[in-house]
Structure formats: C-alpha cells, structure tokens
Structure 1
Amino acid sequence: MNYGKKIKLLRSSLGLTQKDFALKLSIPLSTLKKIESGISNGLSAIEQILSNEKFVYLAKWFFDPNNNETPVINKSSESEPNKLLAVGHVNLPFYEVRASAGDGALVEAEEQTHLISFEPEWLDKEIGVNPKEVFLMLVDGDSMYPTLKNGAMIMVNRNFNGLSDGIYVMRHDHNLLVKRLQLLPGGIIKVKSDNNMYEPWEINKEHLNGTDIELIGRVVWSGQRM
C-alpha cells in the first residue's frame, strides 16, 4: 500500500515545498521524497499527519481508494492558513496495534494513540454503525488477501447483533486475528482465510468469548489502496 500520491496532493494543496512539509511533519526531507516517489508507503507519515487535530478531517480521504480529488483546505484564516475544515465530524479511536491476517502475532497491549475524524452521516447511512461502538486498527499479513491487504485500516464494530457469516477480529490464545467466520450446522464455526494458501480450522460456538477465544468485533469497513 502506497500513499505517496495523496501526501503529495495534500502538500501541494497547502502550498508547501517538500522541505517545509517535511519540517511540519518532523520527518527527514529524504523520507518525504521517498514517500512521494513511491519508494516508501507513507503510512508512518499519515499517522503523523492525522495525529495533528488540524488534519484529522483527512482520514476518510486518505483511506478511500476511490477519492483522488484534492482535499478541501480552509484558507480564510490568516493566522491559521493551513487549518482544515473539521466541523460536524466525530472522532474514532485508532489503536496502534495490528490484527494479524496470518498465523497470528502476540499482542501484549492495545493503546489508543490518537483519534481519526469521520462524518457522522456517512457512518450512519453508509456503514450503519454507532460511532461510540467502533474503533480503527491495522491489518498485518496476507491471509485475508485480496479482501484485506497488509497495512489496510479496518473499522471494527464492537456491538454486532448475533454471530453471522462475516469478517471478525478475534483473540485466540493471546493472538489477535482478523478472519472470516462461517457458521456450520451443529454449532461449528469455520475460521477461514480469503487467501487459499492458509488452511481453515474449526471451533465450537460454545467456546466463543471464553478464556482462549474472544470475539472483539465485526469488521464493517476497510481503507486500502486497490
């Protein structure tokens, strides 16, 4: 996943040189040049951008692969010419932790690092979720490819009405996983990867939300480069 084009679009719309933009992001100029040229994927730079409250408005734009338009910049204030419009948005918690789409990675702690802003009307009408019940995190690994690529941002809904076929974030033996669950007769749940290189496995429904297996939430949205 590479965000270089959008980072360059943002920089240009702010009227900043690479040197000035790198200074604002507190990253080396050489790093920014690599990001804009596509050598580096730029995810760390995006996290730095979105950690600034002036820029949280851009989250949906960054992770929407179909939106390649120049972001709207508010230049009406002379004192803050680069402040972005963020009125009427809600902030969702973003956790600096990755749900493994592979064999699983040990997760010792999940810490909220910053908030990312979304339009409440979009969350309600397009995604159908309550902003208070969702959070954002990243995908690590290729077992859910091509549905979810390595580095994709996912929105997870903690409050889902009953278990049904779909993609979920789950904790299994201290590993945080993102997998597709399929309900089978007899209370059996098949845990599948969309990448057929990974073998499916089965669990019993009665073992869910026990000490070894816990459903964290259902994946309702993802943002990634196509």
Structure 2
Amino acid sequence: MKTIEETYRERLLMLSKQYGGQTGLSKRIDKSPAQISQWVNGSADSKTGKARSMKSDTAREIEGALGLPRGWFDQPVKTADTTPQEGFIQFTLLDVKAAAGNGFDNSDFPESVQLVEVSEKWARNNIGNNLKSISIITASGDSMHPTFHNGDWLFVDQTINFYEGDGIYVFASAIGLKVKRLQRALNGDLWVVSDNKAYTIDVIPKSELDTIKICGKVVATLRLERI
C-alpha cells in the first residue's frame, strides 16, 4: 500500500505534465519550482535528514487553486505507468545532463522526465537500501571512460551534497554541471579527476571550494548497448 507521501508525489508528477512542467505548475499554484522539485524528488531536509514531503494543508490549497475536488491528492494513482511491476522499483529520471567533459548548462531546478523501472534485486545489490534518495541523470561526454560512457544513466544519491571522501560526484560550477571523480589533496585542495587519462587533472584551491556546489554522489551506472 502506498504512503500518502508517495501518493502526493505521483499526483504532483501528473500535474507537472499537465501544466507543462514544474515551472508551468508553479505559476498556477504560486509555489516555486524549487519547492515543487523538492516535493517530487523527496529531497532530504538539511536539518532533519528526512525526505521532504508536502503537507495535507498544502494539498488542500493546491486543490483549491486548480479547481480540483477536495481530497483529490489523497487518492492513490492506479495507472500502469506509475505502479511498478512486481519485483521492480521506480526511479525518477531527471531532465539533466551532467558533463563528463566540459560543463553542461542545466536549469537550476531540473524537472522529472519520466519514471524508470529497474529490478528491485538489481537496485538493492548495486545501490543499497536507501533507494528513496536516488534519482537518475544522463552522462554527457567521454572524459569518464571507461567507468561510464556518453548517454549512460547515472544513479545519484542527492542526500550526499557534500564531499565525503574519494568518489564520483555531480557538482555545479560557474561553467555548468559536471560529473567527475573528486579527491582531496593533503593541503586541502580538491582534485577534479577524469578517469579518461587523455584529460588533465583540474585543481580547485582550498580557498575557492565555495565556488562549487556538490549536488549528489554517483552510486551506480546503467548502460544500454546496441547489439
């Protein structure tokens, strides 16, 4: 049985598609695209660490603004495209490309493109049990070969919005969104490393670490190969 938080997210996805995305919906309900994105993606609250979810009072407010019946948000969505098959789990594919090369310019508040189903067994074996914090983005470029390739799906844990040790992170900088391996030097500088050895290592000095924003950590990849 779905929780009320899951039902709210599914209903928000429906409205987002109906009104031309989260930006279009935000104008109709007087909520920011950032707020809608946090509700849809279940982004972790920076203070509590719990997934953000819409309150019932807010649901009633949106129903009124859009002329929907009271309680519309509380009714579970039973359509096939929002209910995973038995043994499968759904992730949100975001309208984002992270450059494995030069930065890729994206909207500050990416919209959900679709729900993607994968085997729950595969997800738990390759990602772990903290699956609600995971979203999918698309890699762009070749600088992270052979770890992943252009067009691969990257499973990103958005609750890891800080450097927690060597790993592959999605981060925003002045030239756009990147996905690179980050390593801390002994002097506190941050090395931006490409797994493709044809690329050089960039260095972000310790004094300039506030010029980037870590958006998440890549915990798994998925490749669809033509045969």
Task: Give the TM-score taking structure 2 as reference length.
Answer: 0.56
Amino acid aligned to 2:168: I
CA–CA distance in 1 between the matches of 2:168 and 2:114?
A: 25
C-alpha change, 1:206 and 1:116, in structure 2 (3 Å) is farther
CA–CA distance in 1 between the matches of 2:222 and 2:83?
A: 15
**Paired position in structure 2 for 1:32:** none
**Does the CA contact (< 8 Å) of 2:82 and 2:115 recur in 1?**
no
C-alpha change, 1:146 and 1:122, in structure 2 (3 Å) is closer
- For the aligned residues, what is the CA RMSD? 2.6
C-alpha change, 1:56 and 1:103, in structure 2 (3 Å) is farther
CA–CA distance in 2 between the matches of 1:94 and 1:130?
A: 17
CA–CA distance in 1 between the matches of 2:83 and 2:103?
A: 30
Structure 1, residues 22-72: CA drift from partner, whole Å, max 9, x if none? xxxxxxxxxxxxxxxxxxxxxxxxxxxxxx945986xxxxxxxxxxxxxxx
CA–CA distance in 2 between the matches of 1:142 and 1:53?
A: 36
Structure 1, residues 195-216: CA drift from partner, whole Å, max 9, x if none? 12222111245654x3x30111
Confirm or deny that 1:203 pairs with 2:208. Answer: no
**Paired position in structure 2 for 1:170:** 171
**Paired position in structure 2 for 1:89:** 88
Amino acid aligned to 1:200: I
C-alpha change, 1:194 and 1:154, in structure 2 (3 Å) is same
C-alpha change, 1:193 and 1:124, in structure 2 (3 Å) is same
**Does the CA contact (< 8 Å) of 2:95 and 2:111 recur in 1?**
yes
The correspondence of residues 178-189 of structure 1 with structure 2, limited to 5 A, is: 178-189=179-190
CA–CA distance in 1 between the matches of 2:128 and 2:206?
A: 26
The correspondence of residues 1-226 of structure 1 with structure 2, limited to 5 A, is: 53=80, 86-109=85-108, 110-160=110-160, 163-173=164-174, 175-204=176-205, 207-208=208-209, 210=210, 212-225=211-224
CA drift of 1:87 comes to 2.1
C-alpha change, 1:225 and 1:89, in structure 2 (3 Å) is closer
CA drift of 1:112 comes to 0.8
Amino acid aligned to 1:156: V
**Does the CA contact (< 8 Å) of 1:189 and 1:204 recur in 2?**
yes
CA–CA distance in 2 between the matches of 1:137 and 1:111?
A: 11
**Does the CA contact (< 8 Å) of 1:56 and 1:117 recur in 2?**
no
Structure 1, residues 79-130: CA drift from partner, whole Å, max 9, x if none? xxxxxxx025332111121101111122134111111123444433432241
Q: Secondary structure at the match of 2:124?
A: helix
Amino acid aligned to 1:182: Q
CA–CA distance in 1 between the matches of 2:83 and 2:207?
A: 41
Task: Give the TM-score taking structure 1 as reference length.
Answer: 0.56
CA–CA distance in 1 between the matches of 2:205 and 2:120?
A: 37
* Length, aligned pairs only: 145
Gaps spanning 5+ residues in structure 2: where? 1-78
Amino acid aligned to 2:102: D
**Does the CA contact (< 8 Å) of 1:107 and 1:174 recur in 2?**
no
